[in-house]
Structure 1
Amino acid sequence: MFPKKVLLKDGSVLTIREASVWDARKIVEYMKEVTSETDFLITRPDEVYDVSTERSYIKMYRDDPRKLMLVGVIDKEIVSVLTFTGFGRKRTRHVGEFGISVKRRYWGLGIGTAMISSAIEWAKRNGFKRIQLEVLRSNERAISFYEKLGFKIEGVKRKAVQRDDGSYDDTLIMALFFD
């Protein structure tokens, strides 16, 4: 299934593939950049893993058949990262949760759609029936995007995230179901 090539709206080609331990340094650099570009991510730049920890994290994802870490690459540059984690209990084995980020200068090209569609396809092949995510209530652009992909708002976690200025934001729980 991977690697997968996708033609983007600007004519560039996105390669979607599973992350490798060899990507650790580039993923750390990527994470430091994306966490400093927006307030819509939970992780702050000073909380990004070091390269050694990131290698271990990638290895954990590679070694677990119920986890997936994808990188989206354009011209050898990582422009997106998606992680998917399947729940482990017998009664919730059909459920998985994902998180995604895209570098700001690549927003609006179709990268998020391509990455999430790839994760959904992988999840279906691996027996998942429900995919969920959490998104900040203030991130209206992302909420609208997820709704276009078929996700529905199911609930609210009030004051789930404290912003740098001390104010709080709620997170919305959104889910997608399939057979």
Structure 2
Amino acid sequence: MPPSLQQQQDRQAQHRLAVLRHAEEVTGNVALTCRYYGISRTCFYKWLCRYQDEGLEGLRDRSSKPHHCPHATEADVVNKIVYLRQHYYFGPMKIKMYLKRYHDIDIACSAVYRILKKLAAVVGVRAVDLCLFFELFIVANDQARLGSNGRECNGRGHKWATMARSWTSKWRI
């Protein structure tokens, strides 16, 4: 069983502590220790300051995720975009025009598309539309394959019908 994230972070913190101890006890020289372990002196001193301030917890990896994003789209605007997509099947351009006209919200078309893509609303609707098309294609193809006497004709439509059936079963519609 692979080590958990907690165990990996503990192991990495212990390694960083060993680097700090090596510089202090073995060589007494920061530059030689950094060269030996293949790290920069800036990184070494950053670890040293964190260890002095916070102890072993300071040597753990920290998230590089920003604390906040000041230019993020507001939650109520995102909710309106999703509502318009789910209930009216509007595309990004029409959603942009609707929000501008009726809610006085100015948002770029690319931002609407990015939000829809992030929330998987674009992909979900298109997959359903594609499967619906294939289901209609199967019905029309089955009717076209039958001749006037009710027997199946030998045509190329059968190949496309089986492909359409496989697509609809893949998307489980």
Assess same fold via TM > 0.5.
no
Specify which structure has the bigger relative contact order, considering alpha-carbon pairs within 8 angstroms and separated by 6 or more residues.
1
TM-score (normalizing by structure 2): 0.20
Flag the structure with higher strand content. Answer: 1
Flag the structure with higher helix content. Answer: 2
Structure showing greater Rg: 2
TM-score (normalizing by structure 1): 0.19
